[in-house]
Amino acid sequence: MNPPQSTVKPKQLDVERIRADFPILKMDIGGKPLVYLDNAASSQMPQQVIDRLVRYRSTQHANIHRAVHTLSEVATAAYEEARRKLARFINAREEREVIFTSGTTEAINLVMHGFGRKFIGAGDEIILSTLEHHSNIVPWQMLAEEKGATIRVVPIDNSGELQSGAYEALFNPRTKFVAVTHVSNALGSINPVKQMIAHAHARGVPVLLDGAQAAPHLAIDVQDLGCDFYAFSGHKLCGPTGIGILYGKAAILESMQPFKGGGDMILSVTFEKTVYNAIPHKFEAGTPPIAAAIGLGAAVDYLSAIGMDAIAAHEQHLLDYATAELARLAGVSIIGTAANKAAVLSFVIAGVHPHDVGTLLNQDGVAVRTGHHCAQPVMQRFGLPATSRASFAFYNTTAEVDALVAGIRNVQKVFT
């Protein structure tokens, strides 16, 4: 799927003004200006989000839903307002379709336990893809082992694109679920998820999208996509760690069993019977990450004010520029050349282990991720143990890309 297109030309970002909102970008690393290119792992928080967290912790901190005193009412209102903000951000039909979790991983596990354990059985099949993060592989393996189900895997081609024909060919009467990434964390490939969802739904098969790498970069409209579940994390979205979102269609969420038992997810409890609460509370047992949820609400306010279309356009410019610059470097190979990509650039340098690349780049102040990126099947597909990965955000600049290129040249000098 191409990134959502707007009839209005995205505004050009004032990147220097935006960078002023991020205190951490003023840091030096070993006497060199920080060039932060590890946004696919975690993005940075603007001062506006930091201030909102401080205000909550300083003047609003209390437990929610279970008291009538002023602080609890204020905290409850702020927490539920954050849910409404997230519902608007992804265009959910109803705010009760937005469940707060600890992150994408818990969101996927919630679906595995709540939906998979109830509706998937022996002989059933689950479709994943080669591009998946381990968080969208391991839970389904656990389910398959428990239930006697089978996992089918969509292959990718040499550019890192899913093979659509192979995906469609995997469907049969035993297919009961599809769980695929929207954007690859290791390669940046944007999957044609809208078409994939339509194909699955035509056969009565529900679809979960891992949106951890898509939500920070693309305008997400879950109603337009038609997905049954959408999962993403706050810490990749200029928000705090320890908070994430599971979107689910209300009717499906209502049919699911709870993932965790405890307080607030119940209407009544006796030793004879427990009556579960309505959604979304049925899936939010115990004291939730209140501050983090409120901080994530502030983060989507910040991103929405900038505009996701403008963010996507700026990041595409950075990706195009970085791809062209790295392509000029002898001995550097870009891994993942899909025609439709988000702002992720994985590469290897001939004769240099990616961990050494990351260590030497850090000496130049350049922060990148190295390793298998929790996507070992992708690495195996390309015959690699690891890559170096530069991942861009809307606060990055072409000058920082130039710093990356200069750092790569310095790495090559060390190893020649």
Angle between helix 290-306 and 47-59 (nearest 10): 150
Q: Are 202 and 170 in contact (CB under 8 A)?
A: no
Decide if 374 is catalytic: yes
**10 Å Cβ neighbour count for 257?**
13
Q: Are 207 and 182 in contact (CB under 8 A)?
A: no
| 3-state SS, residue 415 | coil
Q: Which of 229, 370, 297 is nearest to 83 (CA)?
A: 297
| 3-state SS, residue 74 | helix
Amino acid at 279: I
What gap in Å lies between CA 257 and CA 115, rounded to an integer? 7
The active-site residue, picked from 20, 153, 285, 374, is 374
**Residue 167 token pair:** 């995906």
DSSP string of 183-225? B-TTT-BBP-HHHHHHHHHTTT--EEEE-TTTTTTS---HHHH
Cα atoms found within 13 Å of the Cα of residue 134, Cβ hemisphere only:
6
Helix, strand, coil shares of the chain, percent, nearest 5, are 40, 20, 40
Cis peptide bond N-terminal to 289, omega within 30: no
Cα atoms found within 13 Å of the Cα of residue 300, Cβ hemisphere only:
26
What gap in Å lies between CA 382 and CA 11, rounded to an integer? 38
Q: Where are the alpha helices (DSSP H) in 336-416?
A: 354-363, 376-381, 398-414
Which residues pair with residue 36 across a beta bridge? 367
What gap in Å lies between CA 265 and CA 272, rounded to an integer? 17
| 3-state SS, residue 270 | coil
Q: Are 296 and 82 in contact (CB under 8 A)?
A: yes
Q: Are 183 and 191 in contact (CB under 8 A)?
A: yes
What gap in Å lies between CA 20 and CA 30, rounded to an integer? 21
Residues identified as active-site: 374
